[in-house]
Amino acid sequence: MTATAAPSPASPARAWGAVVPESGRGMVYVEITDAGTAGESRLISEIAACNPSLQIVLLADDGVDYFQIAQDFRIGNVIKKTRFDIAIVRALTIRLLTGNIFGFAPYFPEGFTVGPLYRTFSGKVSIEKVIEECITACKPHVNPEELSSFRIFIHELLINTFSYAIGGITPEDRDSKLLRPPPELFIPENRGIKISLVSDREKVGVSVMDSTGNLTMLRVLDKLRRQSKIGDEKMPPGVWDESGRGISMVYRYSRFIVNILKGVRTETIFLQYHEKELNRFESIIITEVNPF
């Protein structure tokens, strides 16, 4: 369902009980408009009070700070009202209502071809060699006009993964000291980095998965916000930041997905369509869950 206004300020939980299920799983799309965020914040609070198990997805206008609401309520899924399509609604429904957040299946309803890249990197590795191997393997499946951006996306996701999951660089160190992983490092077998490419007739998908679950939803939201110009802002607040630019490019020019099982596993996925306009998506798709 889509919610735009609270039905009754007097008894919100009871009022919403007539509209949304009071128990069990469900999804609610909340429209965030140019009118501001105060009303939407109250609306989300009331819906959550009625049923904390409901999954909330924001439908956002460009001119309002939807990042603030997403951070306040730990909402990882924000769809731009002018850019979403049936494919992403279907994928979100599968992910959020079934709990099956990892992998490509929700984004490839007619199936997909795996490869030629399907590797787990462990032992002594050269980061630049890994990046080049991945790009070389994927190149035949990428629209030549999109190859330069594809290269940037692969580089950014792998550098982030090697930094945080293997190199032991904290987010704070990356921000303040501009640290990067060493050119070569040793990856224990039980912490191998899994990289895979899949494709169908309209797009390719790349997944990078680590075995730490150290990335957080709030950090991703913060980095995307600092590289986003909203409303009357002349420039993004983090225009001079040294970290976060790469992940922002992936977000703006592909369909970017982050899956986090806290303390266990992180998967970052980007989907790149052969039709260039379908890559200007700018929706946020982040799911962070606790292990059972």
pLDDT exceeds 70 at position 37: no
What pLDDT, in 10s, does the model give residues 87-134?
Answer: 888 888 888 888 888 989 888 888 888 877 788 888 898 888 888 888
Domain boundaries, the chain: 1-75, 107-289
How many distinct helices (H) and strands (E) make up the chain?
9, 12
Considering the four listed CATH numbers 2.40.50.140, 3.30.565.10, 1.10.150.120, 3.30.60.50, the one that applies to the domain covering 107-289 is: 3.30.565.10
Name, in order, each residue with C-beta under 8 angstroms of 136's C-beta and a sequence gap of 6 or more: none
* pLDDT band, residue 6 (cuts 50/70/90): very low
In terms of phi and psi (left: phi > 0; alpha: psi -120 to 50; beta: otherwise), the region of 58 is beta
Give percent of the chain with pLDDT exceeding 90.
Answer: 10
pLDDT 10s digits, 160-203: 888 777 666 666 666 665 556 678 888 888 888 899 989 888 88
pLDDT confidence of residue 261: 92
pLDDT tens digits, one per residue of 259-268: 999 988 899 9
What percent of the chain is predicted at pLDDT more than 70?
86
Query: Against a cut of 0.95, is the pTM above it?
Result: no
Instruction: Return d(Cα 103, Cα 93) in angstroms, integer.
Output: 15
Backbone angles phi, psi at 280, to 5 degrees: -90, 80
pLDDT at 85 over 90: no
**What mean pLDDT is reported for the chain?**
81
